[in-house]
Structure 1
């Protein structure tokens, strides 16, 4: 096996990113770096391929796709490292060719394929924290960017149904649709830092990075390596107020909104007997999650930046 394994999601950005992937592979080939290529075929396959590559000695595993591909590849790397301490042995690289690329944006890696290949050539790295997610009734997994519960996760579910649009337009249409169809504001109990918050939840974010949904800055002060999550609790409000909130979230200007509570913590518990939809890095955790715990694992993943 080569030192570099490139895991490609051929369906990234609804299958419209193949030309970017081809350009990236051509640039990588001319760089003199030896690499293997593997294609994902189904949901979860990227994690399986990455875990196998890491266990077989790959030094760098590149996720060629969007946030979903990054999520899977990172999970594979981290699974292979379970039982060990410190930083996982394999390094995550990113070729950002998805519809959102929010994790890449948070690390300054969303400027195109040429920059991503240049970063791979240089090999400069940054060690980041990750979150470990335990949701009752669902498999445990890691989150590298943002975990959400409530309205935002329904937006994500609706976005996956939209096939004719590309990029940020997908998320804008999904938000507007969700404003019409989403009526759930489950009563939730959220615990962190020895505090208990009980409220009717519109949505909650546990953020390791700042942005989600291709352009919504949920946690503008979040950093991937500061040892804490940024937590954003959004209380039930009117549809008119929700509509007015959208541009604020696009600018990260919602922090002082009366329906928003911000905090920082390394461990978060979320409970709701009514259940709520949840997503991690844009991947659906479940439609009816009732309890979950998100724990920060500091300095666990090395990323090429």
Structure 2
């Protein structure tokens, strides 16, 4: 029977993360599993807790949203550790990409008896992140600004906070000149954003990269080029089903190593957190993470 260390973000999902884990922990323990619980003080602290649990050959559970999933999963990527995810945040986009069950009893069964599956991770290299691993996507431009506004929202939750944040970000946006290097080939574009996706979802269930797969050893690069702001809002609406990729203003590339540069110090984010400013290089880590999914 597995031995779990659950790392919990006590503020995820509006302070519901810890409460959401209680019935799941009960089912795991009733089945005979050992469950330890550790509360993180920050994402960096969560990463340290994950490495400690992995060193003890325990199954590491990330309880929270995409920031917690990326921090915990990224910390043990490239090791033999087994990782599980308990979606208890606002976005839960990586859990969505993995197809995790929403029902507590089904998730408990998966964690208890599921076989580990190898999925890809993404290694970031920048001045702020000299070798940080993340799981879902890296996004540079207006969506990083929108995500920051969404995370700061106190009145709105979930997709409503993202839409409000996006409206605020787009209205104040001026086009950026991007220089993308995809597996050595340079592409220069002017527009709103560049997204390097391992997972197809971001921004609370938006299908930014419908062709992305977490286990194909490739990254999808989605570029939203310059267009009138009214058209950009139509593109945002298309994110519900991924149909935006059919628009002429949207380009899609794929590759294993992508460098993003811009004509000004644009913010970039990863796994639901705005973290630094460009430039940044994202490199796929094929099969680097063993997950119960």
User: What TM bracket, shorter-length normalisation?
Assistant: over 0.9
| Aligned residue number for residue 85 of structure 1 | none
| Aligned residue number for residue 84 of structure 1 | none
Once residues 18 and 278 of structure 2 are traced to their aligned partners in structure 1, the CA distance between those partners, rounded to angstroms, is 39
Mapping of residues 84-233 of structure 1, within 5 Å: 88-181=79-172, 183-233=173-223
TM-score with structure 2 setting the length? 0.94
1:36 CA displacement: 1.1
Corresponding residue to 2:285 among 257, 272, 297: 297
TM-score with structure 1 setting the length? 0.91
| Aligned residue number for residue 250 of structure 1 | 240
1:69 CA displacement: 0.8
Give the aligned length.
292
Superposed CA deviations along residues 267-290 of structure 1, whole A, max 9, x for unmatched, are 10111241211111112221xx23
| Aligned residue number for residue 23 of structure 2 | 23
Structure 2 SS opposite 1:254:
helix
Q: What CA RMSD, in Å, does the superposition of the two structures yield over aligned residues?
A: 1.6
| Aligned residue number for residue 6 of structure 2 | 6
- Residues 199 and 214 in structure 2, CA contact (< 8 A), matched pair in contact too: yes
Corresponding residue to 1:269 among 244, 248, 259: 259
- Residues 99 and 214 in structure 1, CA contact (< 8 A), matched pair in contact too: yes
- Residues 192 and 267 in structure 1, CA contact (< 8 A), matched pair in contact too: yes
Q: Which runs of 5+ in 2 are unaligned?
A: none
Q: Which runs of 5+ in 1 are unaligned?
A: 82-87
- In 2 relative to 1, CA 123–44 (structure 1 residues): closer, same or farther, beyond 3 Å? same
Once residues 129 and 215 of structure 1 are traced to their aligned partners in structure 2, the CA distance between those partners, rounded to angstroms, is 20
